[in-house]
Amino acid sequence: MGLSSLAHRVHRIAVLVEDGILAALLTSMIVLAFLQIALRNLADMTISWGDPLLRVMVLWIALFGAIAATRDGNHIHMDIIARFLPDRLRQPLQRFTDLFSAFICGLLGWHGAQLVILEQQDGTIAFNGIPTWTLELILPFGFCVMSVRFLVNAFFPRAKEPAKCS
């Protein structure tokens, strides 16, 4: 098995895991929200940890969605200048923006890790005995994964052309 096919296999597994986590989070979130609404309206009660968990799930879905978007090159980016540049200048600009994005995501990942460390030292409990820091682990993880993806894109660009203006 060559290095290229191993990388392709690892990428495929990562895609399946990421998409599976996104689907599980979204499904769980919909079910929990439905239960909360039904219990409030029908039984005049709620699940005490339901609303805080839903808020955390929004954060996790947002970060896993951003991870998936950077994986597929569907993240938000401003390419108005690149659309009008000649081909020979477009790739260096794309490399620069990928490196800059990697730097920013790396910085956010590092600061997310600092937040997690502070929360762990503080010993704050989010709900039901779950430490806050465990719920915030998605911040350093998500931004570091995105940083690595931007670095890979900067040095091994895909053959995807930006859309041309008509």
- Report the SS3 class of residue 141: helix
- Report the SS3 class of residue 126: strand
| Alpha carbons 39 and 45: distance in angstroms, whole number | 5
Domain limits, the chain = 3-155
Q: For residue range 114-154, list pLDDT tens digits in order.
A: 999 999 999 999 999 999 999 999 999 999 999 999 998 88
Nearest to 95 by CA among 138, 151, 139: 151
Q: For residue range 45-104, list pLDDT tens digits in order.
A: 999 999 999 999 999 999 999 999 988 777 776 667 777 777 888 788 888 889 999 999
Could you tell me the two tokens for 128?
């039901």
Q: Is the pLDDT of residue 109 over 70?
A: yes
Q: For residue range 7-57, list pLDDT tens digits in order.
A: 788 888 988 999 999 999 999 999 999 999 999 999 999 999 999 999 999
Handedness of CA 24, 29, 35, 38 (dihedral sign): negative
| Alpha carbons 106 and 108: distance in angstroms, whole number | 5
Residue ranges of the alpha helices (H) in the chain? 3-38, 50-72, 80-84, 87-122, 132-135, 138-155
